[in-house]
Chain A
Amino acid sequence: MFIKISSFIVILMLYSCSNVEPNSAPNPLYGKEGRYGNFVQDTIYAQADSVIRGKFLNTSLTAKLSLGEFDGLKAGFEITYNIFKDTALVVDSVYLKFNTANSFGPNANETVTAMMYQIIDSIDTDSINIKDIWRNPTEGAFLSEINAVQFNLADSAQTSVKLPNDVFEKWSENNDKNFGLYFSPLEEDVVLEINSRNSSFTPVLFYYTHINDSVVIDTIFTRRDATVFNYDDQNGQALNFSPNQIIVSSGIGSRVLIKFDFSTVPKNAIIFSADLVLTDDDTNPYENPDNSTSFLLRAIEEVAADEDDFVYNPTRTFSLRSDEGFTSILGTHKSDFATTVVQGIKNGVLTNKWFELEFINSIESLSVKRFLGAKADKTQSPKVIIKYLNAQN
């Protein structure tokens, strides 16, 4: 009897010890709401903002080439073809083929006229768009005017530009003299974007020769192309903004710095969502429809006189998207922004001075986006909407 009773109890104990999972069907929490605190949504408005103009950057790796002029913003492009032959060629004709990606501006109708130049002096390829010689390139001695040409503005349209035979024949005779071409806009209030060599519809050069009566067509691809951006600071309007506005621009890169004060958020807040919301200024005519909705946000720990010396902490970026008049942080980035940045600031592990906003693509094309700034009406100024558990422990 002793063995039976003991073994009965021991078996029960051993079995209960072997199954340590708690009840999978939890009890309802009757009347215990708020045991760990309550959820709060808070809005923090921007304290200050500032717009900084970025440096000119190398544009030889962008997927588009820009051509146009709009209220002080100007873009022309350089292109060099890969001519390997080093023997003289006699050609019947030479054409340059371009594919239109996008166009915008009040004067964007069917075509845009540009002046085609031959670059007659060697250029430092790494300096395109960066060095001062590119600020007014048509006034420089390294360009020789060829003739005016027209580009089609319709999306996906092809433009065929005739290149004088002698230009091509000189390049083929002496490849060292092939410094490329430069196109500069002749019309205002219109911007054209062409697919570059870094896209699927790369610019191509066709030249026609013949053998006896047969026409021979050969194709040459680009070796290098890049956009040159400029802005007339004295007379231009595109990058102007009023005190209650802020702007972000690409091509001529401008970034916005915005400052927030999170001291009103409780120390014991467990922050799970944070959204930076900006109100778009829909009076802005300079938005490029192909580059007006995607932005990047970063947290700056230290600013410096040179933007290259800014210290970002954390170094990761957060994406923002414009939709229906507002620009805000994208989807799940809200949670990352909350836990990585805002919680880090409340925990004291991050020192935050400013938040920096810029276009995701700030060098590929011309575009300007205006928002209402810190000095605008509170309901429209930049804000961070924070959601957190005001925790009790």
Chain B
Amino acid sequence: MHKTRINRLKLTKYILSLLILIGIGQAGESQFGLVNNSLGNIQLPYSSSGLASSYEVAKSDSVQLNFRNFATWTNISRTTFSWNLGYNGYLGKNKTEKYYFDNANFAGVFLAIPLQPRKLILGVGLQPFTSVEQRLENKSKQIGEDISENIYINGGISKANINLVYKPIENYSFGIGYEFTFGKLTENVLFNIDDNLGSSVSLKSESQVAGNGIILSFFGTPVENFNFGIVVRPTVLGQITRSAESTSDFLNKERVLEMEIPAEYNLGLEYSFNPTYSLGMDLVWQDWKNGYKIDNKKVGNHELFYHLGFGLERKGSSRKFVKYIQQIDLRLGGFYNQLSTYNDLDRNKVNEVGITAGISLPIQRFKSKIDFAGFISKRGNLSKNFLEETIVGFSFSISANELWFVNLVD
């Protein structure tokens, strides 16, 4: 009893300490992604398992759903629901000051139903694609007046998809899916004109995105202990609807423009040295420089996006009667990114490098597990970019497995 009370006190102090520590933060998003017509910072939604090891495209699991490669779902035998939630903190600095943001985020939610266990799987899901939150200021002199400009940009794009994956022969699975890309980006700008009359101009512009695309996924084990996966999202064709709120009715009129989001290519490899240790890598690339178009014209100010991740996984024991700590999976990884938007003041690219780690805790009672991941990364460099950020993130994924839609007789 005494020990329980002490533990409760410790937990209370622990929670209070966290609240004080994070009290200095404010809600926000990475400050990169600001170029004209940008859809925001590209999000790469990984499950916590994938995030911890920095690779997932070629990773197969019979309990958790893979967030990157749907073709791996043919390993599940029960209806599985997986979701991921997380927290990111951004410690940033520009050429004049430092700041701290944080936000809650999620990497996706999926439901997979085995129409034929371990053979034919139907899945639906929702994942983030881009996000942006920028607050900026500028001062200029125009028409003989000092003008201050305050801008607030926020929003993001998400993807909702439905996939059908099939394993026609042992060791090889294929998936095909439909994906709807949607979202909204808003820019609020207020100009204050220093003309002793309190003049100001307010403009709010909004861009709504809607696009259709398909997902093609593949997962294979051509030789024992070696997996590879491919996921391709061809060019998304859609529309961007622009409108505004201002005193100009002409500017406020809604305009619908054709839009293309570049194709995304994912390649993953995993090699298991033994039942315990595996090594893997992911490569994701998307040519925003040439493939992102609005009204059939390249948008400009965008770059090739790529993500290179590699990691190591140590699987815990699958035996039931060992110590719990021996059942825990451990993961370690690292990644290197090139962002899709660059600092167009001097046209320097923006890169990010980070390390990741995490664990999986089995929940025997539910034949499931919960994954935890954490990472730290550095995005940008003040020597060549207008910002740099140190990002610290934590996340967890949970899967629930139920015997829905499974013929128990079978």
The residues of A with any CB-CB pair to B shorter than 8 Å are 1-2, 4-17, 19-33, 35-36, 38-41, 267-273, 331-332, 334-335, 339, 343, 346-349, 387, 389, 391, 393
Contact = CB atoms under 8 A, between A and B. Distances in A.
B26 interface: yes
B22 interface: yes
B272 to A, nearest CB: 27
A351 to B, nearest CB: 15
Contacts of A273: 193, 195, 197, 199
B353 interface: no
Contacts of B150: 26
Contact of B136 (A20, A27, A39, A332): A27
A22 B387 CA distance: 17
A36 B133 contact: no
Given A1-B361, A32-B138, A272-B193, A19 B26 contact: yes
A27 B135 contact: yes
Given A31-B345, A271-B247, A391-B248, 7 more contacts: A12-B89, A12-B102, A22-B152, A22-B154, A23-B26, A23-B135, A272-B193
B104 A27 contact: no
Interface string B175-219: 000000000000101010101011111010100000000000000
Given A332-B198, A335-B199, A387-B143, A27 B387 contact: yes
A270 B138 contact: no
A27 B94 contact: yes
A4 to B, nearest CB: 8
Contact of B395 (A9, A26, A27, A391): A9
Nearest to B206: A393
Given A7-B15, A39-B143, A267-B250, A389 B203 contact: yes
Given A28-B136, A30-B386, A391-B251, A22 B22 contact: no
A273 B199 CA distance: 8
A35 B36 contact: yes
Nearest to B152: A22
**B interface, size bucket:** 35 or more
A1 B370 CA distance: 12
Contacts of B15: 7, 11
Contact of B85 (A5, A13, A36): A13
Contacts of B295: none
Interface in B108-167: 133-138, 140, 142-145, 147, 149-152, 154
Contact of A6 (B22, B34, B104, B370): B370
Contacts of B27: 16-17, 19-22
A19 B343 CA distance: 28
B16 to A, nearest CB: 10
B201 A389 contact: yes
Nearest to A334: B197
Nearest to B94: A27
Max chain B C-beta neighbours (<10 A), residue from A25, A346, A393: A393
Given A12-B102, A273-B195, A393-B242, A347 B394 contact: no
A270 B248 contact: yes
Nearest to B344: A31
A24 B248 CA distance: 29
B28 to A, nearest CB: 5
A15 B248 CA distance: 40
Nearest to A271: B247
Contacts of B14: 4
Chain A residues touching B, majority SS: mixed
A5 B372 contact: yes
A393 B251 contact: yes
A36 B203 contact: yes
A346 B147 CA distance: 24
A21 B26 contact: yes
Nearest to A37: B203
A335 B247 contact: no
A389 B198 CA distance: 16
B138 A29 contact: yes
Contacts of A36: 149, 187, 189, 203, 205
A388 to B, nearest CB: 8
B297 to A, nearest CB: 15
Contacts of B145: 39
Nearest to A38: B142
A43 to B, nearest CB: 12
A347 B249 contact: yes
Contacts of A270: 201, 203, 246-248, 251
Nearest to B101: A23
Given A9-B394, A12-B102, A22-B27, A28 B94 contact: yes
Contacts of A343: 247-248
B345 A30 contact: yes
Contacts of A10: 85
B18 interface: yes
A39 B144 CA distance: 10
B410 interface: no
B148 to A, nearest CB: 10
Q: Report, nearest first, the 5 A-B pairs whose CB atoms are least far apart.
A: A31-B345, A29-B138, A12-B87, A13-B104, A347-B249
A13 B86 contact: yes
A21 B137 CA distance: 16
B5 interface: no
A113 to B, nearest CB: 49
A196 B338 CA distance: 83
Contact of B143 (A28, A32, A40): A40
